Amino acid sequence: MKKESNLQKILKEGHFAVTAEAGPPRGCDPEIMYKKAGILKGYVDAVNVTDNQTAIVRMSSLAACSLVQQSGVEPILQMVVRDRNRIALQSDVLGAAALGITNMMCLSGDHQCFGNQPGAMGVFDLDSIQLIAAVKKMRDESKILGGDELTSAPQMFIGAAANPFADPLPFRVTRLAKKVKAGAGFIQTQCIYNLARFKEFMKMVTDQGLDRKVYILAGITPLKSAGMAKYMARKVAGMDIPEEIIRRMEGVPKADQPKEGISICLETIAALKKISGVSGIHIMAIEWEEAVPEIVSAAGLMNRGAGSV
Amino acid sequence: MITATRKSLDEIKNMIRPYTRVLVAGCGSCVAECAAGGEKEVAQLVSALSMAFKIEGGGPSLTEVTVDRQCVNIFLDELEDPTRSHDAVLSLACGAGVQALAERHADRNIFPALDTQFLGQTKSPGLWLENCLGCGQCKLFYFGAICPLGRCAKQLFNGPCGGSQNGKCETDSEKPCAWQLIIDRLDGLGALNRLEEIYEPCDWSLKQGRGPRKIEREDQQS
């Protein structure tokens, strides 16, 4: 029960952390999660397991986290407030801790209108900041919302998201500060393609000293094709992909586009390492987990001094 | 006000087809304001139904009537006799009006002609917008008189979410992000610091705690 998060330990020791993402399948085959975890094992410090991302029904995040853990990889449980009320959310936090899960991400979740259940009721009983505060209360005070005592407190390294590319920019930093105040210990950002804007965001973050209160992992998504870049730019909420990136992807033959996507990714990582306040990176290789070992190796992040998972 | 839109002619026809004499009852308040269920809309609907049934070769005879408010018991007295002299009533009131009328007539079918929508405002002719959820605990003070429950697609008290771009909501690029509106308005009022506060979760027991709510006031009961 009192297991410590490896990710938290790595960040505390001042190492540059690397996390990745593994999306659960649209089915119940555990082998898919074992396979994804196997690809990432030894390359990253922890792996986010997404929670019905883009509002599409998938294997539950909690169950998939357990499978990832069985594979010897430390999971980060993503929890969105879209589908579950405060009873279910708090109950799942306890369940996760009981299974030995030590990290979680508190998120709003993509609106249900985007997925394959547009008729679903959007719960949004708590918002992401209220969920952070609730988990912190459970962990630090051994109490649930309303004040009832728990028989044992869940140990959770609490994460939250920040989108430096959503508007309005100055308020994004205020909202990050609210997440830190609520109890977030680490932040993973939206995928970064617009470095200028990210630098502007981080300047505001460091000016306010927020980087000293929370570990910020910069989000990266390797583009597999020009089509994917265009799709993400147009269809994915809160995404900012500058035209020059799309043109660069279009400028190479289709067969070479994955390679170009990885090159962009590596250049971004090199730039991110130099930005003050960045404690690590979070690689979201969407249905392309195989790209992660290559990126981590080529970015020179293999021997970071941290104990691998 | 309560807004509503009319159901399709086919859905309405299917409900009333088996009956001989149908009373088509309008409501002169909210649903008249939103041009869905007032006297004018009753006349239009009766004319469309008559035409449609004529083409089909017959249907119920239709009688028009409109009262001021179908959700207030004293106004329903006016519908007492007409309801008794018909087999069924097609009500163009909101859901509250349809139920209030039905409650008085255990032996009559009372059908809804409208889909009740939301509590909102008439923004301009032909445009109605939802802005209140009736949560039972008005928090407009904190949010610059723009309600995140009624107007944010995720009902966030500590927004905006990561889907707010260029002042628009992730669910619809035409729809303003309520949180952008809140921030702009509080900024203009010099009260942006109100948003540094972490707002507690909504107490839904005040909206749906023990099912339907009631307001009971002895001072109004004499």
Out of 1.10.10.10, 3.20.20.220, 3.40.630.30, 3.40.50.10160, the CATH code matching A6-298 is: 3.20.20.220
User: Coil, helix or strand for B65?
Assistant: strand
Report the interhelical angle of A86-98 vs A61-70 (nearest 10°): 10
Can you tell me the mean pLDDT for A8-36?
97
Domains along chain B with CATH numbers = 2-118 (3.40.50.2300), 133-208 (no CATH)
Q: What is the pLDDT of residue A15?
A: 95
A189 close to B (CB below 8 A): no
Residue A2's pLDDT band, with cuts at 50, 70 and 90, is low
Q: Kind and range of the H or E element at A219?
A: strand A215-220
Can you tell me the mean pLDDT for B191-210?
91
Min distance B101 CA to chain A CA atoms (Å): 30
Min distance B170 CA to chain A CA atoms (Å): 6
Best of B156, B158, B180 to disrupt the A interface (most A CBs within 10 Å) is B158
Place of tokens 């308040």: B29
Test B154 with A177 for CB contact under 8 angstroms: no
- Tell me the percentage of chain A whose pLDDT exceeds 70: 98
Residue A238's pLDDT band, with cuts at 50, 70 and 90, is confident
Selected residue with higher pLDDT from A162 and B210: A162
Q: Kind and range of the H or E element at A159?
A: strand A157-162
| Cβ-based burial of B102 (10 A; exposed 0-12, middle 13-18, buried ≥19) | middle
Q: Chain B residue closest to A118 (CA)?
A: B171
CA A280/CA A37 separation, integer angstroms: 20
Residue A304 pLDDT exceeds 80: no
Q: Which residues on B lie below 8 Å from A145 (Cβ)?
A: 201
Which tokens belong to B17? 């087809």
Test A166 with B158 for CB contact under 8 angstroms: no
Buried b (16+ CB within 10 A) or exposed e, B69-91: bbbeeebbeebeeebeebebbbb
Report the interhelical angle of A195-207 vs A169-182 (nearest 10°): 50
Would you list the domain boundaries of chain A?
Answer: 6-298
Test A133 with B198 for CB contact under 8 angstroms: yes
Q: Which residues on A lie below 8 Å from B201 (Cβ)?
A: 86, 125-127, 130, 145
Q: Which residues on B lie below 8 Å from A105 (Cβ)?
A: none
Residue A305 pLDDT exceeds 70: no
Q: Would strands B168-169 and B172-176 be described as parallel, antiparallel, or unpaired?
A: antiparallel
Test A130 with B200 for CB contact under 8 angstroms: yes
| Cβ-nearest to B165 among A86, A129, A167 | A167
Which tokens belong to A212? 């000293």
| Cβ-based burial of A78 (10 A; exposed 0-12, middle 13-18, buried ≥19) | buried
Test B170 with A111 for CB contact under 8 angstroms: yes
Q: What is the pLDDT of residue A133?
A: 98
Whether A22 and A68 have beta carbons less than 8 Å apart is answered as yes
CA A162/CA A210 separation, integer angstroms: 13
User: Coil, helix or strand for B62?
Assistant: strand
A283 close to B (CB below 8 A): no
- The ipTM of this complex is 0.92
CA A239/CA A82 separation, integer angstroms: 20
| Cβ-based burial of B5 (10 A; exposed 0-12, middle 13-18, buried ≥19) | middle
| Cβ-nearest to B164 among A124, A133, A166 | A166
CA B178/CA B152 separation, integer angstroms: 5
Residue A19 pLDDT exceeds 80: yes
Whether B120 and B54 have beta carbons less than 8 Å apart is answered as no
Best of A54, A112, A171, A190 to disrupt the B interface (most B CBs within 10 Å) is A171
- Lowest pLDDT segment from A213-222, A236-245, B72-81: A236-245
User: Coil, helix or strand for A104?
Assistant: strand
* pLDDT, tens digit, 9 for 90 and up, residues B61-86: 999 999 999 999 999 999 999 999 99
* pLDDT, tens digit, 9 for 90 and up, residues A250-299: 999 999 999 999 999 999 999 999 999 999 999 999 989 999 999 999 99
